Amino acid sequence: MAIVNPCPCGSNKEYALCCKPFHQGAPAENALLLMRSRYSAYVLNLPDYIVKTTHPANPQYSDHLFSWKRSISKFSKKFSFHSLEILDFKEKNALATVTFTVHMSQGGRDATFTEKSYFEKMGSLWLYRSGQLEEGYAPNFVTAGLLRLLPLAYYGDSVLRKKAEPLTEITKELKDLVEEMIETMEACDGMGLAAPQVHHSIRLFIICAPIEIAPDQIELGEIKVFINPKILSSSEETWETPEGCLSIPSLRCNVKRPKEITVEYLSLDGSLRKERFTGWEARAILHEYDHIEGILFIDRIDPQEQTKFQPFLQNLEKRIHDGRAL
């Protein structure tokens, strides 16, 4: 029997028997089905569905629903969607990745891209958390090994307010945790990540050493691991610039920090190091160090600004707590 109204996701099924039920409110049973239904929602210009299935921690998430939906709709209209190709799908507990290629064009010009998307299940709903563009077109791209992503602790979670415990030894488990933290940080496009942010109340953090290539332009460099760090000294001289935090998505505000610090810490190979850090690198370390002390960057902004951000924070806490995007 011929398919009368094929689903745009390319499943070779009737739309009514494929993505339509999801678009009408049925929850997708897994991240792959959610991915397909989000693709077909883009094709069919259904911005409500895209918004409803976006994780509150997604960088694109906005409380300004009207303009957000308008920009999704613009994207739908601007491109011609040709096909969706799924390259890889992995699921572990409440986390999943889907790597896919979207074949599309704009005004006759090819605009094909490949993306690795991260999904998180909150409550009973799968939500799109973030996506990373993979370079170029990779038709046979399949990642090997296990999915190594950790669920983040968001604003309002008590683990973020605890003073973390020192580590007594560097075990295989700790090394595995560091590997998982690195993948999580990269998936979320973070500059640093502290263990309490992934629900481990221990004195450990990682940074992706920022390099200032020009004023206000930073490139992420080498990954550094800090175990049981101590800030031995900080300079009198301070500087102020906007900071963000993976645990408080989409908030950025000015934080004053020392320009230079000296830190003593254990590296992952167990050696004790004493190093001086300046500028952005010092800032990233101090931000993460605060996390193991139970301090958040919003505690360091002036009280007037804090009052201004209060409604945003309450809203965020509610959104995260309810486990849904709207």
Q: CB-wise, 29 or 305, nearer to Zn ion?
A: 305
Q: How many residues bind Zn ion (CB under 5 A)?
A: 1
Q: Which two tokens stand for residue 57?
A: 């921690």
Nearest in space to 151 (alpha carbons), one of 323, 290, 35, 281 = 323
Residue 98 interacts with Zn ion (CB under 5 A): yes or no = no
Q: CB-wise, 32 or 208, nearer to Zn ion?
A: 208
Q: Which stretch binds Zn ion (CB under 5 A): 8-16, 18-26, 110-118, 238-246?
A: 238-246
Catalytic residue from among 288, 293, 305, 317: 288
Q: Which stretch binds Zn ion (CB under 5 A): 154-162, 204-212, 243-251, 298-306?
A: 243-251
CA distance 282 to 170: 24
Residue 292 interacts with Zn ion (CB under 5 A): yes or no = no
Respond yes or no: is residue 14 known to be catalytic: no
Residue 245 interacts with Zn ion (CB under 5 A): yes or no = yes
Residues in contact with 33: Cβ distance below 8 Å, sequence separation at least 6, in sequence order: 22
Nearest in space to 35 (alpha carbons), one of 94, 103, 113, 119 = 119
C-beta pairs of 133-137 under 8 Å, 24+ apart in sequence: 134/99, 137/101, 137/112, 137/113
CB of 187 to Zn ion, least distance (A): 15
Q: Which stretch binds Zn ion (CB under 5 A): 30-38, 96-104, 116-124, 241-249?
A: 241-249
Cβ atoms < 10 Å from Cβ of 232? 12
Residue 152 interacts with Zn ion (CB under 5 A): yes or no = no
Residue recorded with tokens 């000294």:
233
Specify the amino acid at residue 109: R
- Give catalytic residues, as residue numbers: 288
Q: Which residues bind Zn ion (CB under 5 A)?
A: 245
